[in-house]
Amino acid sequence: MASASNAAALNAVALTRRFGEFTAVQDVTLSVAPGQFFGFLGPNGAGKSTTIKMLTGLLAPTSGTIEILGLDTTRAAEEVKRQIGVVPEGLALFGRLTGAEYLRFVGTMYGLDRATTADRTQELLEFMDLANEPKKLITDYSHGMQKKIALAAAVIHGPKVLFLDEPFEGVDAIAAGTLKTMLQGMIARGATIFLTSHVLEIVERLCSHIAIIDAGRLVVTGSLEELRAGTAAHGMLGDGSGARLTLEEIFIRVVGRGRVAEGSSSTGSAPPPQPAKELSWLG
Amino acid sequence: MAPDALADGQRQGVLHPNAAAQFRAIAWLRWRLFVNTLRRRGGKAELVARVLFYPFLAVIFIAPVTGAGFLGYYAVSEHQSSLLFLLTWVVFSAWFFVTAVTSVMPPAIDLSLLLRFPMRFRSYVLLRFTLGVLATPNVVGSLALAGAAVGIGIAQPALFPWAALVLFSFALMMVLLLRMLLTWLDRWLAQRRTREIVGFFFAVFFFGFQYLNLRVQTMAHHHGRGIPHLERMEAIYHAARPVLMALPASLAAHAIETQAHRSTLAAIGAFAGLLAYGGVFAALFALRLRGEFHGENFNEAPARSSPVQLSGARQAAREGLRIPGLPVAVVACIGKELLYLKRAPATLLSMLTPLVLVAIYAGRLGTSDLTLPGALAYAMFSTVPMLYNALGQDAAGAQLYLLSPTPLRQVFLAKNIVSSGLILLVAAIATVIVVRNQPPGLPVALATLFWLGFVLFTNLSLGNYLSITAPRKVDPGKFSTRQQPSQVSVWIVIGILLGSLMLGFAILWTSRYFGVIWVAPGILFVFGATALGVYLRSLRRIGTVVLKHRDALLESLCKS
């Protein structure tokens, strides 16, 4: 085991998960350095949520090892849990509690004392603009509000590594701005963030490093600049023109092979995703 | 379908031209939902449990049908017209009661989801009504009235067509009445605040009923045969009789009775009254459905309140539950469970119902050693099943227990403390009700106490295990949903309660038979202590069990 001080924030080796005959994630190896804002991308059903569940201990890997901050997630599960914060796929909310009650509960479950929990609850509710409706139950929150309270709960104990599964899905521009500000602040203070999202513009703006998974296999990983330059590990993305690719273009080139018709552009601009088949009966 | 064809179709006919296909599709949907339920993890065990349960149900169904048939026959053949009134009123009351009890079961399909499909209002009403007719209480109630019509027909064949028409109309009116009430109730309970208010009134009603029953029993005990209040109640009945005669059950009976005496005009008058009720209920039913059909939306969100005072929220967070001697995380979980309980009136109500019957029958249970444990077993039947789905109400929130560093045994300990507290509260109330009438001797009381411990810890151990291996997501926000474990779990609860009751009885009976009654509490103490030991051991290992089953657990609780 690596020492916690100089270890990677996250180190997964040969991670595989099978559900019966179906292999959802196969042989995924990735490493995230401390302080990185890491974007984990992939099309629907590629294995993103399964991977994040394994990394956070919600799902047992069929094989492979995971270390977070140098700690083995199986052998030092409790210590790992103290160091990480998670916004999982289902948000892990208790609908019949108010926002303040929920944060108080979560703070206590993470071992914070009453005073700290109370102060942080108040700060988080205000920061997330949720303090104005103290009697509202979480089940009555809008989707965006639920995302915000889930994120508040994930950070209340000050995690060193934060896992976010689609944090921007269904969130309005103002709320998304609030979330981004908070996440960038965490990165500036040395935290590591592992994020999955389909909103590629946001990922491109926030993340310094990217990995793309497709059909359960990691197909590309590297820094954004490496991906843009087309020299990322596992992938040959360059088109020979020397033009800078956007993340969307990179994503479509990596994942879209065989799914969308290739564009004929030679200038490096994104080939417009053309449907492979026509639906002639659609108006 | 082409747009033009659709427009033509909409101009013609009462129903949407595609209505028949839609009805078939909905029938198919219900069938597939049932089949897919069996394909789930534990589905086969569920099927076996249902197969065992259905003959049981069939017997329960046959009894009212044959009973109504015999009563109809006897009333007409013996010219006991008052029995016809008894028949229709008993059917009316039982139908109403069973519908009220079974309405807490969640529907197979949320029919309002069908509104996004192109469907005419009349089709929607017909669909809601048809599916309503197929509800179990309506089927049994209708069959009971059909049985009564047959009985009347055998007694006086010439009366059969009229009796069948009247009782068919009565059945139709009942279905309309109950559908109408349920849809309006759904409307009122759609908002949390009204739900809580209705829950409060239900609780007041139940407690009031128990209090009244205890008072009447006490008066009966003190006054021997004469209950002065009975005379007053009789007077009230006579005063209310004209009103009762104008109600549907009386009208149905009156229509048959008068026709039996060849008073056709009076019979038609009563029948017209019955039809008028049906018409009013149908109109009210349609009125409610029209609101749904036009996309009404009951936003539960309270009005935006004024900005909260900083110090107030912080103060509230600093406060909260404090229980000395327990780990902080356990106390936090207990606090969360209590908040959930406070906001789930259906759970509380479901616990109260058996206590009402215990109160009613407390004076008639005899004086055997089994009276107290029997009453406790019955009273606990509504509370013990909650142990078998401890994570059901948490749904996706259960992920937090796996993500946080709090040991899972502390989470389950907290849940067990709260549910055991409720069970013991119900047991204590039942004990007070029973003991007031017939206090048991000290050895029996002690034996019952240890027996209770045995039952509780056995159910806790098994309940925790099944909560992890066979969880079911439930929505505590819906009034019509309780913490329902699987059918298998229900059978396990029945098995444990009956088995332990027989065990307790065997021990008590044998001890008394051999004149060593004090042996019974000793033996049951050993049973209770063993069950406690098993429970503590299982609690220590619960983290391992959860990790082993976490995939299936989270799949069941987190998937929509």
Q: Give the pLDDT confidence of B174-188 residue by residue, as tens digits.
A: 999 998 888 887 777
Torsion region of B46: left, alpha or beta (phi above 0 gives left; psi -120 to 50 gives alpha): alpha
What pLDDT is recorded for position A265?
37
Selection from B420, B357, B332, B416 nearest residue B383 by Cα: B420
What pLDDT is recorded for position B164?
94
Residue A260 within any structural domain of the chain:
no
Chain A nearest CA to B319, separation (Å): 8
Residue A236 within any structural domain of the chain:
yes
Sign of CA dihedral B173, B177, B183, B184: positive
Nearest CA in chain A to B398: A92
Q: pLDDT tens-digit profile of A150-170? A: 999 999 999 999 999 888 887
CB A57 within 8 A of CB A76: no
CATH number at residue A35: 3.40.50.300
What pLDDT is recorded for position A91?
82
Contacts of A114 in chain B (CB under 8 A): 317-318, 320
Q: What is the mean pLDDT of residues B440-445?
A: 85
Q: pLDDT tens-digit profile of A68-125? A: 999 998 888 888 888 999 998 878 888 878 899 889 888 888 888 888 999 999 999 9
Residue A168 within any structural domain of the chain:
yes
Location of structure tokens 């045995």: B454
What pLDDT is recorded for position A135?
81
Poorest-confidence range of A83-87, B54-58, B272-276, B337-341? B54-58
What pLDDT is recorded for position B415?
93
Contacts of A62 in chain B (CB under 8 A): none
Selection from B97, B351, B348, B363 nearest residue B215 by Cα: B363
Nearest CA in chain B to A54: B551
Residue A216 within any structural domain of the chain:
yes
What pLDDT is recorded for position B253?
92
What pLDDT is recorded for position A216?
92
What was the ipTM of the complex prediction? 0.72
Q: Above 80 in pLDDT, residue B346?
A: no
What pLDDT is recorded for position B24?
76
A267 touches chain B (CB under 8 A): no
Could you tell me the two tokens for A193?
């963030």
Chain B nearest CA to A65, separation (Å): 16
Residue A134 within any structural domain of the chain:
yes
A112: phi then psi, degrees, rounded to nearest 5: -80, 150
What pLDDT is recorded for position B233?
63
pLDDT tier at B500, thresholds 50, 70, 90: confident
List, in order, residues 6 or more apart from B133 with CB less than 8 Å away.
Answer: B139, B142, B175
Q: Give Cα A173 to chain centroid, integer Å.
A: 18
Q: pLDDT tens-digit profile of B200-216? A: 666 666 666 556 655 65
Higher pLDDT, B366 or B339: B339
CB count, 10 Å around CB of B240?
10
The total number of structural domains in chain A stands at 1
Contacts 24+ apart (CB under 8 A), B547-555: B547/A60, B549/B468, B549/B469, B550/A58, B550/A59, B550/A60, B550/B402, B551/A59, B551/A60, B552/B41, B552/B469, B553/B391, B553/B398, B553/B468, B553/B469, B553/B471, B554/A53, B554/A58, B554/A59, B554/B398, B554/B399, B554/B402
Minimum-distance CB partner of B403 among A81, A117, A133: A81
CB A195 within 8 A of CB A206: yes
Could you tell me the two tokens for B153?
């027909």
What pLDDT is recorded for position B185?
76
Does the beta-carbon distance from B328 to A108 stay under 8 Å?
yes
Higher pLDDT, B114 or B95: B95
Residue A4 within any structural domain of the chain:
no
Cα separations in angstroms, A245 against A88, A212, A236, B300: 30, 15, 13, 47
Q: State whether residue A65 is helix, strand or coil.
A: strand
Q: Above 80 in pLDDT, residue B438?
A: no
What pLDDT is recorded for position B42?
65
What mean pLDDT, rounded, does chain B reach? Answer: 78
What pLDDT is recorded for position B160?
92
Out of A197-201, A209-213, B444-448, the most confident range is: A209-213
Q: State whether residue A163 is helix, strand or coil.
A: strand
What pLDDT is recorded for position B103?
62
Q: What strands lie across the sheet with A63-68, from one edge to the other? A: A22-32, A10-19, A63-68, A71-72
Which residues 92-131 of A are in CB contact (within 8 Å) with B?
A: 92-97, 100-101, 103-106, 108-111, 114-115, 117-119, 121-122, 125-126, 131
Minimum-distance CB partner of A131 among B301, B308, B398: B308
Q: Above 60 in pLDDT, residue A242?
A: no
Q: Above 70 in pLDDT, residue B533?
A: yes
Contacts of B318 in chain A (CB under 8 A): 114-115, 118
What pLDDT is recorded for position B293?
77
Strands A37-41 and A192-196: parallel
Q: For chain A, what percent of residues have pLDDT higher than 70? A: 85
Residue A154 within any structural domain of the chain:
yes
Selection from A167, A200, A143 nearest residue A87 by Cα: A167
What pLDDT is recorded for position B148?
93
What mean pLDDT, rounded, does chain A reach? Answer: 83
Minimum-distance CB partner of A97 among B316, B339, B550: B339
Q: pLDDT tens-digit profile of A23-77? A: 999 999 999 999 999 999 999 889 998 999 899 888 888 899 999 999 998 888 8
Pick from B1, B402, B479 the residue to mutate for testing the A interface (most A CBs within 10 Å).
B402
Query: Which range marks the domain in which residue A68 is found?
Result: 10-255
| Count of residues making up chain B | 560
pLDDT tier at A176, thresholds 50, 70, 90: confident
